[in-house]
Amino acid sequence: MSKTNFDSNDANNSLISSKCNSNQYRREIIDELKKVLTPYTENKELLRSINEQTNLLTDLKINSANLVDVIIDAESKYSIEIDLASAEKMTNVRSCIDVIVEKMNFKK
């Protein structure tokens, strides 16, 4: 497990600029999620083609022990705090996006 370096300013600016378009907003989060998931995903080709239905464990084969890393990396990237109840839901891309959007909105 290696730590990913993040540029949170870029991520925040990008999200703010696209907040009027929720589909675009979610697509941008998927692009950022790909960077978060990269250190924990063996199949990089599959990672490039993820969509909201992609399951982190069964499709991307991310080891369950690395899910905690993914959550912590997402917290760091978006400067949010993900509580345990929300973290439990983050097993597929859709739920990851939902949690990130919810916590970003809570921050505003």
Residues that bind another protein (CB under 8 A): 1-3, 42-43, 58, 61, 63-65, 68-69, 71-72, 75, 84, 87-89
Nearer Cβ to another protein (3/107): 3
Sequence-ordered alpha helix ranges (H) in the chain: 8-17, 22-37, 44-48, 67-78, 84-89, 93-107
CA distance 36 to 31: 9
Nearer Cβ to another protein (25/36): 36
**Which candidate, 101, 99, 98, places its Cα nearest to that of 84?**
99
State the nearest-atom distance from the C-beta of 95 to another protein, in Å. Answer: 11
**Which candidate, 97, 77, 83, 90, places its Cα nearest to that of 35?**
77
State the nearest-atom distance from the C-beta of 108 to another protein, in Å. Answer: 23
Nearer Cβ to another protein (17/48): 48
State the nearest-atom distance from the C-beta of 61 to another protein, in Å. Answer: 5
